Structure 1
């Protein structure tokens, strides 16, 4: 799930700093703590052997080894240089995936604006345009994201969720394309748009072209996701980085040992068992590397991976609400110009027709995954708690230019009692109807309710 911490850093003070520093989920502590503990125990074990189990001759040989392994270690393995370039590259790739994952809002607004009509036929067309685009996105994501694959393991589950009708599933299964069928719902959408122009539902070709361009923009973003999954970062690159970091700290197990005999000769007052500075290095470099590991595939199931299932839900729900007011060796190109021109499926009411509360379906396994809705980080904060009213006044810069009478005339008192009452009711409702409690009830019912 995507970990949100924007509210914790809304102010630059010590409170915000400690809130951010001591978070666990998605934090550097969760990423490196277990490995740091293992590394520290190994370091202490080697130190114990060196101090108490080796004889004097063996200790001298060990000290020579320590000096050799620590000499020019940072220059021989330049971790800052290696990690800096790699993380910059991976973050750029992650940002491109985020931008291309597909948001349907722009297309849905065009559908509702230029495909006018309140009769059932036109409404079905608009809703199915949204559904086909969302279906195409689901088909792509279920092949490159384990989140979505667990939710929709088969085409039948897509049909059960209302994204696909039985006839459309039959059409998809009959497409002879050994590579992909992601383009089919997009082709259906463009055919619908063309038919709307031919029947006069869309006024002219320019408007039709603009709508088609928006649909193709959506398709182009999905195609980019497929390319990123098809052609990952060359394996040698992450291997070099990840091995370099780990080899560095394996060498540090010996190279950063405190030499007791040398300390005695130099008159050092401290016999340091724990390598504090190296442990700090471990947290920084390993945490930096974990960033790269997490962002290599942001469509996975790590704490900070993108909420693919939520994006599908948002596109479907938002889109519908906006627009309401035998295998053969063909290539994709041939399939587009031959099979893609076939008659589009019969336009019928979708599964969500007439529903006032759209609830996309999940398998029980995928429904337990927590999702953070697209809600502002400060949206639920009540800043006027325990107040009866707030006073609104012009800014002090303007007050200085006003007469006393003008200042009084611009003064406003705003009662906030209703706001506080509504806020308390909302908070109580959220506590009484938590998502985990609701899911547990569904699990209990699923044990005895017969599947329909």
Structure 2
């Protein structure tokens, strides 16, 4: 989940990095706390088994220590940092490209306001209606596209509300629209394909868009009855049902292009290059929507995702054992006690060191850092 946090964290404040690190919403802590509890629990269980259950079984304890040493040597042989760097770079570049491809409706408003105009009173009113219609088509196209990929847009217009009637009537296709080759390709070639079903029929979805408060305030309605029938004819040609048909997002933009051409014929667009500029702008708008759809439809190859996830989880699994504090390591930690002037101070220092080592033996400090850094990137 991407959240906005820059406005709430000021770099001029002292210790601002603490606010950044311990912010909860959208943070790595919120994402990993359940997994981290399982990780620490598994580490503690293994530590208890080694230090308590195997204390009277010397042979098994030696075997456990040998496994720990072996894993600590080989677990860094896999270039996990390089692999994750490639994977994270790919995912982030796709996410950023998707954000940059989302078109802004304000640009369409600026250019149509500047180029579609007339000084004649009658034509001025026609130009105003054409501008509103072009923006209406642009908004409709944007909503139709985003509703197919964004859960927030579906919730915004109520597309996920319970369906009253599940039955749908299949459309009949006109055989005269396509030749026999097209009909064979659309039927025989897709026998095993299954179209996704929506919770609401496409007509109900369009009605919900028209019933939106802001739509009624600014446009009255985004889809007229004549335009609904145009979508119905498109559904017939695609052999879809009321629940499987999704209105094409590019169709309103085709209507807008035709409306721009009509504006030129009526003299509402002064020059031919202005006509071409508006058509190119609509084409870019459609291309940006298509880019967003492509990034959603075509994911990162599953092989890359599987390799990255499997490598991280196998590494963390080996970390559970390789970071265990075994007997030779504990003895080494105890013998590193600082020098003291008297025997009492030396004994006290050794006792404190032993207690600290015992505490470290049951909590994965280094393993926790590796868990957060590596799993947080996946």
Q: Provide the TM-score with structure 1 as the length reference.
A: 0.60
Q: Note if 1:100 corresponds to 2:101.
A: yes
> Hey, what does 1:159 align to over in structure 2?
210
Q: Distance in 2 between matches of 1:261 and 1:15?
A: 40
Checking the alignment, whether the CA contact within 8 Å between 2:231 and 2:247 is kept in structure 1 is no
- Give runs of aligned pairs for residues 13-412 of structure 1, distance below 5 A: 13-54=13-54, 55-76=57-78, 78-117=79-118, 119-152=124-157, 153=159, 154-161=205-212, 162-175=221-234, 176-177=237-238, 181-260=248-327, 263-264=330-331, 267-268=334-335, 269=353, 270-271=357-358, 272=360, 273-289=362-378
Q: 2:168 is matched with which residue?
A: none
User: What is the CA deviation profile of residues 255-284 of structure 1, one whole-angstrom value per residue up to 9, with x for unaligned ones?
Assistant: 211113553478555232212122112111
Q: Is the 8 A contact 1:79 1:244 kept in 2?
A: yes
For structure 2, which runs of at least 5 residues remain unmatched after alignment? 160-204, 213-220, 240-245, 336-352
Q: Secondary structure at the match of 2:148?
A: helix
1:127-155 deviations in Å (ceiling 9; x for gaps):
11111111111111111222223334223
CA RMSD of aligned residues (A): 2.1
User: Judging changes above 3 Å, is the alpha-carbon distance between structure 1 residues 265 and 19 closer, same or farther for their aligned structure 2 residues?
Assistant: closer
Paired residue secondary structure (1:194): helix
Tell me, in whole angstroms, the C-alpha distance in 2 between the residues paired with 1:266 and 1:25.
39
Report the CA distance shift for 1:124/1:257 in structure 2 as closer, same or farther (over 3 A): same
- The 3-state SS of whatever aligns with 1:25 is coil
1:391 paired residue number: none
Per-residue CA distance 1:289-309 (angstroms, 9 max, x = gap): 2xxxxxxxxxxxxxxxxxxxx
Whether the 8 Å contact between 2:144 and 2:247 is mirrored in structure 1 is no
Distance 2:370 2:333 in 1: 26
Contact 1:159 1:166 (C-alpha < 8 Å) held by counterparts: no
Q: Secondary structure at the match of 1:144?
A: coil
Higher helix share: 2
Structure 1 unaligned segments of length 5 or more: list them: 290-452
CA deviation string 1:19-51 (max 9, x = no partner): 222211011111222211210011001111111
Q: Call closer, same or farther: CA 1:57–1:95 in 2, change over 3 Å.
A: same
User: For 1:184-225, what per-residue CA distance to the aligned partner results, in whole angstroms no more than 9, with x for missing partners?
Assistant: 100010011000001111112111111111111111001111
SS at 1:71 equivalent: helix
User: CA 1:108/1:59 → structure 2, altered by over 3 Å: closer, same or farther?
Assistant: same
Matched residue of 2:38: which SS? helix
C-alpha change, 1:180 and 1:172, in structure 2 (3 Å) is closer
Cα drift, residue 12 of structure 1: 4.3
Deviation at 1:159, TM superposition (A): 2.8
CA deviations on 1:379-418 (whole Å, 9 max, x unpaired) are: xxxxxxxxxxxxxxxxxxxxxxxxxxxxxxxxxxxxxxxx
Distance 1:212 1:44, change over 3 A: same
CA contact (8 A) 1:141 1:148 kept: yes
Q: How many Å separate the matches in 2 of 1:69 and 1:44? A: 18
Distance 2:283 2:333 in 1: 73
- Counterpart of 2:189 in structure 1 is none
The answer to whether the 8 A contact 2:137-2:255 is kept is: yes
**SS state at 1:128 partner:** helix
Q: TM-score, normalised by structure 2?
A: 0.71
User: How much has 1:61 moved relative to structure 2?
Assistant: 1.2
Aligned CA distance change for structure 1 residues 32 and 14 (closer, same or farther; 3 Å): farther
Asked whether the equivalents of residues 8 and 19 of structure 1 are also in contact (C-alpha less than 8 Å), the reply is no
> Which stretches of structure 1, 4 residues or more, deviate above 6 A after TM superposition?
none
Distance in 1, matches of 2:101 and 2:297, equals 15
